[in-house]
Amino acid sequence: MPMIDLRSDTVTQPTAAMREAMMAAPLGDDVLGDDSAVQTLERKVAALLGKEAALFVPSGTMANQLAIRCHCESGDEIIAHGESHIIHYETGAPAAVSGCMIRPLAGQRGLFDAGAVHAAVRDRDIHSPYSRLLVVENTHNRGGGSVWPIAQFRAVCAAAREHQLAVHVDGARLMNACVAARYSPREFVESADSISICFSKALGAPVGSALVAPQRFIDRARRFRKMLGGGMRQSGFLAAAASYALDNHVERLAQDHTRARALGERIATIAGLTVNPPPAQIESNMVFFDVAEQFGDARELCAHLRAEGVLMIPMGPRRVRAVMHLDVPDDVVERTTAALGRATA
């Protein structure tokens, strides 16, 4: 039977309808401002988030790093949860690209409160870096795909404003959060200065993210995009896929969430595997579980699962992640549970 790939929601293939939309896209040179499909996408995502402008970029990492580069100066400090994507998965780019430090916050499942923001802000002193930017990740990957409650987000934004901090939302999976919590993208990011959103994760496009912000900010980011090699030419193919994803793949995210919870419930019944966060707290499309020593470490278990026809990814010595997406089969929960049972027998 075909392999079930639960390593990430980035592994999806474009649907037939998405491929048709890509092939029908009008093309131009986007660096020269001639690609109308890219411009259409940028207007669409800016309107979706209620901001003035957007910039299409190759990846979520680039979107986040452009935001940091535009908000900050060399020697500034960024405040973010210690398990944030910008810390773990962006290859030290805040330091390498923008010369910035990160002050990590604690908090369960990738979330924190206004008090943590107040406590993290540095006094303005020549001995210290300037606290310049607050980054919030929604959904929060290493928090188990956790979703920010809108009231809690607004409270941390208000705390940031008291200290003249800008606020950036790493919204790689923002649409998952919106579907899960039933708030609109515009409603959630109203208090944010800039937002990144990824089209190649749960939305199922092959490539691309957007940075969304006021027009002057995006004009500045466009220059840095070119500087970092992110200027693309006939990228309307990719923009058309992203536009199609926004139009057709958002509501179906609820199915991924339902399947993730169902898988978490089944894994919780297998001795030696501990679902963390527990199934009742699985809010989006990710399932994390810890592996007892009797089954080896996370890499060993993933190797056994591969032999059983299921791909997952180790997220630590004993931690494994499974991610639902639009390319998983309808019997994903049953087949994955059976494979786990055989791998831990």
pLDDT digits (tens, 9 = 90+) for 213-234: 999 999 999 999 999 999 999 9
Q: Is the pLDDT of residue 143 over 90?
A: yes
Q: Is the pLDDT of residue 160 over 90?
A: yes
Banded pLDDT at 187 (limits 50, 70, 90): very high
- Mean pLDDT across the chain: 97
pLDDT at position 267: 98
Q: Which residues are bridge partners to 135 per DSSP?
A: 80, 168
Q: Is the pLDDT of residue 181 over 90?
A: yes
| Angle 32-36-38 from CA coordinates, rounded to 5° | 85
Q: Domains of the chain by range and CATH?
A: 16-247 (3.40.640.10), 252-343 (3.90.1150.10)
Q: Write down the pTM of the prediction.
A: 0.97
- If you average pLDDT over residues 282-295, what whole number do you get? 96
Q: Is the pLDDT of residue 127 over 90?
A: yes
Could you give the CA distance from residue 249 to residue 337 in angstroms, rounded to a whole number? 26
Q: Which amino acid is at 86?
A: I
- The pLDDT tens digits for 87-125 are 999 999 999 999 999 999 999 999 999 999 999 999 999
Residue pair 92/124 in contact (Cβ under 8 Å)? The answer is no
Q: How many residues does the chain have?
A: 345
Q: Is the pLDDT of residue 257 over 90?
A: yes
Q: Is the pLDDT of residue 1 over 90?
A: no
Contacts of 295-302 with CB under 8 Å at 24 or more apart are: 295/343, 295/344, 301/343, 301/344
